[in-house]
């Protein structure tokens, strides 16, 4: 039986399609959204300070201590929900909290902070959302834990609550500080720079 080879093309294409579709069965839960950036340095950026437009902030300003970066906006209802917890953290917990004002209007943001109180040490104006894209932000609010070297160690998507702080965020912060202390004391005792330090 003679077969016109070009008539086999649809069949071949279909076979490829079936192959692709069957791959889907081996993949993990489609609802799981990992963070790309765990253990990677905070993305480079150069954006303005919300309350001081002349000042430019870069990723280096986030180095030097264990800190939190919170992505928020005036249009985000859950940011309103987590605001009391952020206020509590800024007052009662010994940690620096920076804000990333995402896809927002600075005038609105300043007014919002004045009205509801400002838990942030400073706010980065990400009105075009470029930093958020680099961070892989899915929506607001999101909170990142950053270590002394400016490396992202944890990401929480959604509103922060006291429970989440106690069970997820604070343990990470404590661990990072313990490791940092270990590295520092090691430095002091031996009197020389420690090589191959643990993270």
Partner 1 sequence: MIVELGHFSLILSLGLAFCLSVLPALGVYRHQNQLMALGGSLSAGLFVFVLLSFFCLANAFVTDDFSVNYVARNSNSDLPIQYKISAIWGAHEGSFLLWTLIMAGWTLAVSILSGSLTLDMRARVLSVLGGLSLGFILFILLTSNPFDRSLPLFPSEGSDLNPLLQDFGLIVHPPMLYMGYVGFAVPFAFAIATLTSGRLDSAWARWSRPWTNAAWAFLTLGITLGSWWAYYELGWGGWWFWDAVENASFMPWLVGTALVHSLAATEKRGVFKSWTVLLAIFAFSFSLLGAFIVRSGVLTSVHAFAVDPERGMFILIFLVLVIGGSLCLYAFKATGIRSEAGFDWTSRETFVLANNMLLLVATGAVLLGTIYPLIYETMTSGKKISVGPPYFNTIFVPIVMVLFAFMAAGPSTRWKKTPVSRLVKSLVPTFLVSLTMTTGLVYFFAAQFEFVAVLVVTIAGWIFLGLVKDMFERVNNKTNKLVAIFRQPFSYYGMLLGHLGIAMAITGVCLTIYYSEEKDLRMVPGEMVEVAGYEVTFKAMNKVRGPNYRADQGEFEVMYNGSRIALLHPEKRFYEAARNMMTEADIDPGLFRDIYIALGEPIDNTAWAVRVQYKPFVRWIWFGGLFIALGGFVTLVDRRYRRGKAVNQQEMAGVTV
Q: Which stretch binds partner 1 (CB under 8 A): 2-10, 39-47, 162-170, 184-192?
A: 2-10
Least distance between partner 1 and beta carbon 18 (Å): 6
Q: Which of 35, 40, 80, 92 binds partner 1 (CB under 8 A)?
A: 80
Largest Cα–Cα separation, the chain: 86
Q: Which is nearer to partner 1, 36 or 166 (CB)?
A: 36
Binding residues among 26-45 for partner 1 as defined by CB under 8 A: 26-28, 30-31, 33-34, 36
What is the full DSSP assignment across 80-147? HHHHHHHHHHHHHSSSEEEEEEES--HHHHHHHHHHH----S-EEEETT-HHHHHHT--SS-EEEEE-
Question: What is the C-alpha to C-alpha distance for residues 68 and 42, in angstroms, rounded to an integer?
Answer: 12
Closer residue to partner 1 in complex, CB, 67/101: 101
Total residues in contact with partner 1, by rule CB under 8 A: 29
Is 111 one of the binding residues for partner 1 (CB under 8 A)? Answer: no
Q: Of 4 and 193, which has the nearer Cβ to partner 1?
A: 4
CA-wise closest residue to 62 among 49, 53, 73, 72: 49
Q: Closest Cα to residue 100, out of 54, 68, 147?
A: 68
The answer to whether 69 and 146 are in contact (CB under 8 A) is yes
Interaction site with partner 1 (CB under 8 A): 1-4, 7-8, 10-11, 14-15, 17-18, 20-28, 30-31, 33-34, 36, 75, 77, 80
């Amino acid at each position: 039986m003679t077969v016109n080879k070009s008539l086999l093309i649809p069949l071949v294409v279909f076979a490829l399609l079936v192959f692709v579709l069957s791959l889907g069965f081996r993949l993990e839960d489609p609802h799981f959204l990992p963070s790309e950036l765990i253990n990677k340095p905070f993305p480079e950026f150069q954006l303005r300070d919300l309350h001081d437009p002349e000042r430019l902030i870069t990723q280096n300003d986030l180095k030097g201590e264990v800190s939190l970066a919170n992505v928020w906006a005036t249009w985000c209802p859950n940011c309103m929900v987590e605001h009391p917890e952020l206020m509590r953290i800024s007052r009662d917990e010994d940690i620096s909290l920076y804000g990333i004002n995402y896809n927002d209007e600075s005038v609105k943001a300043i007014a919002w902070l004045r009205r509801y109180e400002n838990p942030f040490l400073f706010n980065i104006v990400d009105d075009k959302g470029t930093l958020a894209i680099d961070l892989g932000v899915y929506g607001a609010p999101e909170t990142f834990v950053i270590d002394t070297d400016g490396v992202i160690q944890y990401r929480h998507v959604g509103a922060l609550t006291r429970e989440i702080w106690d069970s997820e965020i604070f343990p990470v912060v404590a661990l990072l500080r313990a490791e940092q202390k270990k590295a520092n004391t090691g430095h002091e005792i031996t009197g020389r720079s420690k090589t191959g330090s643990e993270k």
